[in-house]
Structure 1
Amino acid sequence: MQNHIRFIFIFCCFHFWVPLFGQTAIKLADCEKALQKNNFMVLAQQCHVSEARAAIIQAKIWPQPYVYGEANMYNPDQQKYFDVGPQGQTSLQIQQLFMLGGKKRNEINWAKANAQVTELEFEQLLYQLNFGLKSNFYNLYFDQQVLGSLQKQIDQIEELVAAYAVQAEKGNVALKELVRLESLLLNMKNDRIEVQKNILEYQQNLAVLTGLPAPLVPQLDNEKDWVMHYSIQKFDTQTLFETALNQNPEYRMLKQQIEAQKINLKWQQSLSVPDVTLGVSYDQRGGAFNNQKNLTLGIPIPLWNSNKGNIERAKAAIQGSQFDLDQKQRELQRAIDAALAEWNVQRTQFISIKPALILNRETVYTGVWQNFQKRNITLLEFTDFMDSYTQNSLQINESYKQLILTAEKLNYLVNSPLF
């Protein structure tokens, strides 16, 4: 297998090349750092996490005590304004609401549960953006290799077309041969346009995700080890689903939402328990005694508002979320099975590309060019070979790309470094 990879990358290094002028070379690790630092969606979600944590602090705060006071404005007996002296009248009340039934505890637990959901939402966002980042990074890398290969062939065919055009004017070659070469060149240029369109899209996506200026050129170190890394199975297929249930952020978030809604149900049930307002009051001369000091107690009478509607809503939310979780579990199982099967197909295809095929292609390519220049083969044979060679290059490159993308899809679903 190591020789297999070595020969493959001999081909890549000498045949696939990418123009770097005016472009920014970047590695995947740098892209991931830039995403966390510059992506506005990530920064916004970090603010939401801070907001949810602040809600926990707020939930722990008890209601403020209530102070109420009275002072005489006019004493009709003494015909005196603001009579607040020894013979006047003032009163003062201080009251505090005491929550019963575990309301405050449930409110705090509800805030904590919501904070955990928000943190999982942040993790899910990073998880999705990182997958998109890697997909665009690898697509861009391989398409730029294709572009380099096509450009090399186009340059050679353009020189050949120019030479044939001169000879056609002199009557040394048939005009139909020039037309055939021009048709081959046009097909290659059309392929190049399609690849360039994809490259522009991937570069734009990377620039948006990372906040870095386009155009970006992905760079990979130790390509041989890097490709081998995605072709070796290091995991137990029987435990993939179990790992996904423990690691997949979206599934974990749905589970946490159910826990949060259960806490919300307890909170709503506790809200049906009446609260007590306790206080003390002082009345200078308005009560039964002078300088009267009283203890006050207030409690609402739960006649028609037992919070029944909100309790039923909380129960329905739990049931609905449980259905969502069951559906997600089913989808996750099917997605993992499909991704694993696709990776096995791509891995088999990758292994089938023998090192001899890569070397033979290059040897035959060079031989065909030399023999065509010596007029040992016909133009029809030459153009047929060039067309086959171009398609074969695209297919080999696509095989490498799909191996990486399907492996990353498994990493994405399980949220674990399987490769």
Structure 2
Amino acid sequence: MYKLLTIAIISACIPRISSAQNHDLRLELHGAEQRMLEKNIPLLLQKYQVDAAKAEVITAKLYDNPTISYENVIYNSTNHRWFDLSYGGQNALEIQQVINLAGQRNKAIQLAKQGVKLDEYQFYDLLRSLKYELQDDFYNIYYLQQSLQLFQEQVNSLQTFLQALQKEQKNGNVSAKEVMRMQALYYDLLSERNDIQQELQVQRGNVNLLLRIPADSDFIAEAPRKNIMNIQPSGYSYIQLLDTANNNRADLNLAKANEKYQELNVRLQQSLAVPQLTVGFSYDKQGNFMRNYTGLSLGMPIPIFNRNQGNIKLAKTALKSSELATQSVTDQLQQDVMNSYRQAIRAKQLLDEVDVHFPDQFNQLVRNVQEQFRLRNISILEFVDMYDAYRSSILKLHQLQYQFAQSLAKINYTTGTDIISLD
């Protein structure tokens, strides 16, 4: 029995190399973010919205086209000519141009330019949200990969150990009860490994959509270039983070830009209360009081009933609403920054209480437990309990590390910039 179990322990510790699928995509966080900028469809669609808004500026800069009308006699009964263009015929020409008053054109241009800023800030706010989602998913996948690797090593180790026990059972050296208990532990490991694989698949599916990775490919999160576990959130102050957020949060800039947009719209609607002026030139060959008549015409609607009152009131209401919306975003921003700051500090404090080098000792601990069981220094129940305790400790460590990485990503999200480098 001792020989078989010793061989089982040694063989379980030999690393097993599995070749990754050729179509797996391995990326560090920086590479994933760069791919998202190039491939993500919602971001590309929002870029088109910015281009469309810029086209509105071109439209606003255009002047109204002049209107020209020409009239000619169809049948001249005096000389019996059709469409008579001779000296005795009759024709008339009129040209009109609409002129906007009260700075209407310039105000429309300013409003259109502000509309471009709105779409640009919407793009940056979308980018902020997608970037946080990617950073969160990236580190979730990374630590799930670590947990899956741990379970795979345990499954391989326990499978070899179980096979050796089954051989010893046939020789009468191990009881059936011990083998059954070891099988139960093995099946538990398989079940937990499957749960991690399922969760990992869901997270990879999310990243595949963000980065437009083919569905038959798996995203592999490469180890970060820097150890973010050494970052100290307490090295930043709340005031520092708040100032950064006030200067960089796209949703706050969007709210302020919308407030400015509504203010410009009020000015435009007020200017539209002034009627447009129509200037015209007319020529009449012989249909007026004199032959070859030329005249200048001026026309303007009389603003008695419609002075654009409804649109002016609507614009003022929208302005007041936008002011409240800006204040609401400001209040939310302050709360977001404080929450993310406190969460990061708590996550770091909890992580500092854990021995982060514990995973490096895991394989040696497993070998020691197996050796103690082989020597009958511990029972099968003690073996299972110790095995579960070791595995559970590492899984919790991975979870704590992910939660800390998530809290750092949340600080970047709430401040609107990569104030903390995560790659």
TM-score under structure 1 normalisation? 0.91
Give me the whole-angstrom Cα distance separating, in 2, the residues matched to 1:278 and 1:71: 22
Residues 150-197 of structure 1: per-residue CA shift (max 9 Å, x gap): 110111111222222333344432222122112211222222112111
Give me the whole-angstrom Cα distance separating, in 2, the residues matched to 1:221 and 1:401: 13
Please tell me whether the aligned partners of residues 262 and 318 of structure 1 are also in contact (alpha carbons under 8 angstroms).
yes
Please tell me whether the aligned partners of residues 69 and 91 of structure 1 are also in contact (alpha carbons under 8 angstroms).
yes
Structure 2 partner of 1:330 = 331
Give me the whole-angstrom Cα distance separating, in 1, the residues matched to 2:180 and 2:312: 80
Structure 2 partner of 1:348 = 349
Matches within 5 A, 1:10-409: 21-22=20-21, 23-213=24-214, 214-223=217-226, 225-228=227-230, 230-231=231-232, 233-354=234-355, 357=358, 363-409=364-410
- Give structure 1 stretches of 5+ with no counterpart: 1-13
Give me the whole-angstrom Cα distance separating, in 2, the residues matched to 1:243 and 1:364: 46
Give me the whole-angstrom Cα distance separating, in 2, the residues matched to 1:15 and 1:310: 78
Distance 1:94 1:286, change over 3 A: same
Distance 1:58 1:354, change over 3 A: same
Greater shift, 302-311 or 358-367, is seen at 358-367
How many residues are matched?
A: 404
Task: Give the C-alpha shift of residue 355 in structure 1.
Answer: 5.7
Give me the whole-angstrom Cα distance separating, in 1, the residues matched to 2:260 and 2:388: 60
Task: Give the C-alpha shift of residue 50 in structure 1.
Answer: 0.6
Task: Give the C-alpha shift of residue 15 in structure 1.
Answer: 12
Give me the whole-angstrom Cα distance separating, in 2, the residues matched to 1:144 and 1:24: 14
Give me the whole-angstrom Cα distance separating, in 1, the residues matched to 2:184 and 2:322: 60
Please tell me whether the aligned partners of residues 281 and 295 of structure 1 are also in contact (alpha carbons under 8 angstroms).
yes
Task: Give the C-alpha shift of residue 121 in structure 1.
Answer: 0.6
Output the amino acid matched with 1:347. K
Greater shift, 39-48 or 212-221, is seen at 212-221
Output the amino acid matched with 1:154. V
Please tell me whether the aligned partners of residues 34 and 212 of structure 1 are also in contact (alpha carbons under 8 angstroms).
no
- Give structure 2 stretches of 5+ with no counterpart: 1-12
Matched residue SS, 1:281: strand
Please tell me whether the aligned partners of residues 52 and 114 of structure 1 are also in contact (alpha carbons under 8 angstroms).
yes
Task: Give the C-alpha shift of residue 59 in structure 1.
Answer: 0.4
Please tell me whether the aligned partners of residues 276 and 297 of structure 1 are also in contact (alpha carbons under 8 angstroms).
yes
Task: Give the C-alpha shift of residue 266 in structure 1.
Answer: 0.8
Task: Give the C-alpha shift of residue 212 in structure 1.
Answer: 2.2
Greater shift, 272-281 or 329-338, is seen at 329-338
Give me the whole-angstrom Cα distance separating, in 2, the residues matched to 1:250 and 1:222: 30
Residues 15-47 of structure 1: per-residue CA shift (max 9 Å, x gap): 999956102211212211211111111111111
Matched residue SS, 2:418: coil
Give me the whole-angstrom Cα distance separating, in 1, the residues matched to 2:159 and 2:137: 31
Structure 1 partner of 2:9 = none
Distance 1:19 1:135, change over 3 A: farther
Structure 1 runs (4+) greater than 6 angstroms displaced: 14-18
